[in-house]
Structure 1
Amino acid sequence: MRFLFAPASVVFCFMLAVLDTPFLHGEVAEGWMDGIRPNIVFILADDLGYGELGCFGQQKIKTPNLDRLASQGMRLTQHYSGAPVCAPARCVLMSGQHLGHAEIRGNRDSGNGRKFPGQWPITDELVTIAEVLKAAGYSTGGFGKWGLGPTDSSGGPNRQGFDRFFGYNCQRNAHSYYPPFLDSDEEQETINQNPVPGHLKQPTGEVIADDFRGEVYAPDRILAEAVDWLGKNKENPFFLYLPFVEPHVSMQPPQEWIDRYPASWDEENGVYRGENGYLPHPRPRAAYAAMLSDLDEHVGTILDRLDDYGLSENTLVVFTSDNGPTHGGRNFRFHIGGAACTFFDSAGGLKGYKGSCYEGGLRVPCIVRWPGKVQPGSTSSMPSYFPDWFATFTTISGGEAPAHQRCDGVDLSPELIGQGTPDRERPLMWEFAGYGGVFAIRDGEWKAVRRRTKGKKPADWELYHLATDPNESTDVAGLHPEMVERLATQFSNERTAEPDFPQPLLDD
């Protein structure tokens, strides 16, 4: 078992990347960028589906700020998360390692005995992108949901390269938007004297939204801290990581946004009483849309501050999501928490939801704005995923990759600035330890998925040709056994065992 509560990260020395590192080291990057290092803002939504933004085809929910961001930059239409649930996706993002190499391969609590203990921690030896950027001279701030280890463990954000962190360290504390406290660096700041638990039911009686609201709405408090930090660090290169918590249920959005959506939506489908987990709500469809619009408004606030400070022209902004939209529950009229993912076609027609390694669980909206570099209103259909951001940010910052840590991504900057699509020598892959165990691998136009990998009767490999069947409607494994064998072999060869997240099918 990994030692959970290590001291602060050991001092490590970055070395020049070895020759087979799949991206450029600092000297090359500096010459390519003419010595100008951009600020980096990375905004990560929580459980936002591929089809939930106007710029990705949403017809009902209002997302004007993100639609504007897309018009000013590039939409990546085949971008994938690192995992189909929260913690492992964030590990992949921070480490640049896919799920076959990542330290965290599923949601798992650290088990340190607290009410909100935090998740299984990444180790002291792991080098995060925040550490790379900090070593390159960037100020580093994280505001939102962490999920990679309690503050006093090796995985705490302040011990993994962040100068400042404010938000939810523990994912379970983030189940309520009116929690008892938020984490401020390695301390806890009480924000609600009368917090609202994230899991309640109301089987009978009138459901009133205000009954599930407290004094301080955490997303607004987190945003205020992020804006304050941005103002204090605007004179130097900075990395602003914003893992916002919306639209992850519970549904507790501001009433003003709920009131902007039609009452007829919920007259048709009825009140949600908490039967699929999380909190009840009288207008669940409007509330779900309101969460997305509130998220959009927070993104707009960050973009406005960049404009106010004259930083937009030299700031790379990335917006994406940690996985697909939440899946269904026992009451078929609602998804988990009362979410209206069917009504809004949240997965954008793709197969599967959160927790699935089908396209709907992994493919996420992604927008990149970089004035003067990225063509406004452009799109990229290059398959890309979370490990690529480690490589990309290392390159454009003039940072140096850790020689001891294999990075599985490719530098996306040539694709972003229109200088050609980079070659990807290794397939995209996912080894997920949750939901019974799921494997997935994509190489070119082909994708293979294997479910129930931790069960007594693992499913066979499924095969999909995404170029002709992006919705994964037809399993063609029986027609192409040679392709199945090739991808299965690639998967086995492209992974290492992780004892904290075992896969009996491959590790025995």
Structure 2
Amino acid sequence: MRWIVLVLPLCLLTVPAAAAEGDRKLNVVFILADDLGWGEVGAFGQERIPTPNLDRLAREGMRFTRHYSGAPVCAPSRCVLMTGKHLGHAEVRGNQQAKLKFPQFTEGQYPLSQQALSWPMLLKKAGYATGAMGKWGLGPVGSTGEPNRKGFDLFFGYNCQSVAHSYFPPHLWRNRERFVLNDPPIPGHLKKPEGEVKLEDYQGKQYAPKLMIAEAEKFIAAHAGGPFLLYLPFIEPHVSMQPPAESVNRFPKEWDTEVYRGENGYLPHPRPRAAYAAMISDLDSYVGRVLTALDLAGVSGRTLVVFSSDNGTTHDRPANPKLHVGGADPKFFNSTRDLRGFKGSVYEGGIRVPMIAKLPGKIMAGTVNETPGYFADWFPTLCDATGIEKPEGLDGESLWPALTDGTTHARTRPMVWVFPEYQGQVAVQIGDLKAVRTGLKTKKPGAWEVYDLVKDRGETKDIAGENATFIKEVESVLRREVDNNDVFPLTIPGINDSKS
């Protein structure tokens, strides 16, 4: 009998562990806070509210100090984030309810179109498992903008921003299935002009945030083999203020000298300052649970974690000038530090947001980066991070070089905000200079204002009179970069008058 001996190369029989690990695709976790101010995180200067997990993320990653949201309010900011189109090109430029244009829907916001391309769609096409837990706001269930049609295998959370005003809502959505939570639910808006305000009067049976973070932990465990994308648009600290009593009681009783009765909207609360701090503290705890879940799954080393906020902290209302919308008190917490404006404004306090990114071995730990960037940049950045080819027509530019080499980069493209709400506003940032116009939907639109954000990030000194050439450059940018949008129209004097 003759024997045939096959000698196989060793490389066909064994694969070195390091090589196998290196061949695995990068996971992505993108965490988005709701109405979190630039100064409401310890790593960005917050002194009253402890945020140990976000501070850990900053120690283990990179903190960007000149990062901006896509818009000063929820839906358009998320549209810019998902599509890589700034507000001059974005389909969604305001918080319009879907039912105004599509009466068949009873909840949800104006939807992204079928043609709108999102980066989760590209990651899914590339073989990623894709999940989202939190608040959507870009199209009702059954519309062209629902999460399942924009790249997510699994969505669990609030489809509608208005439903998300309550932390004890009637339902959440699991993909296209209504997931009943509270019967009866707790409404997100009530007033109590007289009598005792009790925390327990505004608490229901099932607290939605606890369910959403638990779902996120399950997703990480289930997809540890990767690759996966996990998008976590949490609802904290957007009012109403309904955190559990145990969270509120962690903060000093001396903080609150008067109750909030709902006069500035949303729900009353006996301890509004403690409640607001509790929401941010709870948000921080969710970040900690995500980081722990990544560690337990053994995937922290190959997971890019990004944290930011959709816009600045909430603005004031005249009914109670001591407090802001929903009873929040940004002055007490120094929520914007020295920045001007709040949510709903294209001044820095409305759009400059905290941003932290972590990726061991790629992003240098404990670093601070002053590269100017905004939500339109995340589409090309995540394409570069995951090795996916970038589509044509994106407005942002990749932050990946700044993230991975640790140095501050100059932008080659202007940053643009065209915001038709809150009386109509527009802003353009080129280099260190930023131009702003407000009141565009009033009888007397404001003139151009110009600020040097390096010398004057608080926007206290208008230097428009010294920068006529810059204003002409800004106007040229707007003529080139602003498309008509019949759903969210805005006339910019001297720019698109003839097209409106």
Shift of 1:455: 2.5
Which residue pairs with 1:246 in the alignment?
236
Provide the C-alpha distance between the structure 1 equivalents of 2:22 and 2:208, rounded to a whole number of angstroms: 41
Q: Which amino acid aligns with 1:364?
A: V
Which residue pairs with 2:52 in the alignment?
64
1:482 aligned residue (444, 469, 484): 469
Provide the C-alpha distance between the structure 1 equivalents of 2:105 and 2:145, rounded to a whole number of angstroms: 18
Which residue pairs with 2:274 in the alignment?
286
Provide the C-alpha distance between the structure 1 equivalents of 2:62 and 2:300, rounded to a whole number of angstroms: 15
Shift of 1:402: 3.1
Is the 2:168–2:208 contact (alpha carbons within 8 Å) kept by the matching residues of 1? Answer: yes
- For the residue of structure 1 that corresponds to 2:330, the secondary structure is coil
Provide the C-alpha distance between the structure 2 equivalents of 1:115 and 1:258, rounded to a whole number of angstroms: 36
Provide the C-alpha distance between the structure 1 equivalents of 2:432 and 2:111, rounded to a whole number of angstroms: 35
Provide the C-alpha distance between the structure 2 equivalents of 1:196 and 1:100, rounded to a whole number of angstroms: 38
Provide the C-alpha distance between the structure 2 equivalents of 1:113 and 1:292, rounded to a whole number of angstroms: 36
Which residue pairs with 1:369 in the alignment?
358
Which residue pairs with 2:245 in the alignment?
255
Is the 2:136–2:161 contact (alpha carbons within 8 Å) kept by the matching residues of 1? Answer: yes
2:29 aligned residue (41, 48, 66): 41
Is the 2:62–2:363 contact (alpha carbons within 8 Å) kept by the matching residues of 1? Answer: yes
Which residue pairs with 1:226 in the alignment?
216
Which residue pairs with 1:391 in the alignment?
380
Determine what percentage of the aligned residue pairs are the same residue: 52
Which residue pairs with 2:338 in the alignment?
349
Matched, 1:435 2:425: no
1:274 aligned residue (262, 268, 275): 262
- For the residue of structure 2 that corresponds to 1:490, the secondary structure is helix
Provide the C-alpha distance between the structure 1 equivalents of 2:173 and 2:271, rounded to a whole number of angstroms: 31
Q: 5 Å matches for 1:185-200? A: 185-200=175-190
Which residue pairs with 1:504 in the alignment?
491
Q: Which amino acid aligns with 1:205?
A: G
Is the 2:411–2:431 contact (alpha carbons within 8 Å) kept by the matching residues of 1? Answer: no
Which residue pairs with 2:399 in the alignment?
412
2:460 aligned residue (463, 473, 492): 473
- 1:478-497 per-residue CA deviation (whole Å, 9 max, x = no partner) reads 22222222212222222211
Which piece of structure 1 moves more, 81-90 or 254-263? 254-263
Which residue pairs with 1:321 in the alignment?
309
Shift of 1:421: 4.9
Is the 2:24–2:227 contact (alpha carbons within 8 Å) kept by the matching residues of 1? Answer: no
Shift of 1:116: 4.8
Provide the C-alpha distance between the structure 2 equivalents of 1:205 and 1:482, rounded to a whole number of angstroms: 59
- For the residue of structure 1 that corresponds to 2:242, the secondary structure is coil
Provide the C-alpha distance between the structure 1 equivalents of 2:442 and 2:486, rounded to a whole number of angstroms: 17
2:137 aligned residue (115, 132, 147): 147
Q: Which amino acid aligns with 2:488?
A: F
Is the 1:276–1:329 contact (alpha carbons within 8 Å) kept by the matching residues of 2? Answer: yes
Is the 2:118–2:151 contact (alpha carbons within 8 Å) kept by the matching residues of 1? Answer: yes
- TM superposition score normalised by structure 2: 0.92
Is the 1:285–1:339 contact (alpha carbons within 8 Å) kept by the matching residues of 2? Answer: yes
Provide the C-alpha distance between the structure 2 equivalents of 1:308 and 1:35, rounded to a whole number of angstroms: 21
- 1:456-475 per-residue CA deviation (whole Å, 9 max, x = no partner) reads 32111111011111100011
Provide the C-alpha distance between the structure 2 equivalents of 1:122 and 1:385, rounded to a whole number of angstroms: 20
Is the 1:181–1:189 contact (alpha carbons within 8 Å) kept by the matching residues of 2? Answer: yes
Task: List alignment gaps of at least 5 residues for structure 2.
Answer: 1-20
Is the 1:410–1:422 contact (alpha carbons within 8 Å) kept by the matching residues of 2? Answer: no
Is the 2:191–2:261 contact (alpha carbons within 8 Å) kept by the matching residues of 1? Answer: yes
Is the 2:314–2:325 contact (alpha carbons within 8 Å) kept by the matching residues of 1? Answer: yes
Which residue pairs with 1:121 in the alignment?
111
Is the 1:37–1:237 contact (alpha carbons within 8 Å) kept by the matching residues of 2? Answer: yes
Which residue pairs with 1:456 in the alignment?
443
Is the 1:82–1:322 contact (alpha carbons within 8 Å) kept by the matching residues of 2? Answer: yes
**Shift in alpha-carbon separation, 1:213–1:114, aligned structure 2, 3 A:** farther
Q: Which amino acid aligns with 2:275?
A: A
Matched, 1:95 2:83: yes
- Relative CO higher for 1 or 2, CA cutoff 8 Å, sep ≥ 6? 1
Provide the C-alpha distance between the structure 2 equivalents of 1:179 and 1:84, rounded to a whole number of angstroms: 25
Shift of 1:400: 2.4
- 1:26-84 per-residue CA deviation (whole Å, 9 max, x = no partner) reads xxxxxxx9754210000000000000011100000011110111110010000000000
Provide the C-alpha distance between the structure 2 equivalents of 1:113 and 1:280, rounded to a whole number of angstroms: 32
Provide the C-alpha distance between the structure 2 equivalents of 1:464 and 1:285, rounded to a whole number of angstroms: 33
- TM superposition score normalised by structure 1: 0.91
The number of aligned residues is: 472
Shift of 1:504: 2.7
1:82 aligned residue (57, 62, 70): 70
Shift of 1:408: 0.9
Matched, 1:494 2:481: yes
Is the 2:307–2:355 contact (alpha carbons within 8 Å) kept by the matching residues of 1? Answer: yes
Which residue pairs with 2:4 in the alignment?
none
**Shift in alpha-carbon separation, 1:298–1:116, aligned structure 2, 3 A:** farther
Provide the C-alpha distance between the structure 1 equivalents of 2:106 and 2:333, rounded to a whole number of angstroms: 32
Task: List alignment gaps of at least 5 residues for structure 1.
Answer: 1-32
Is the 1:76–1:365 contact (alpha carbons within 8 Å) kept by the matching residues of 2? Answer: yes
Provide the C-alpha distance between the structure 2 equivalents of 1:248 and 1:57, rounded to a whole number of angstroms: 20
Q: Which amino acid aligns with 1:57?
A: G
Shift of 1:419: 6.3
Provide the C-alpha distance between the structure 1 equivalents of 2:176 and 2:427, rounded to a whole number of angstroms: 37
Runs of 4+ in 1 over 6 A off after TM superposition: none
Q: CA RMSD in A?
A: 1.4
Shift of 1:97: 0.7
Q: Looking at CA atoms only, which structure, 1 or 2, has the larger radius of gyration?
A: 2
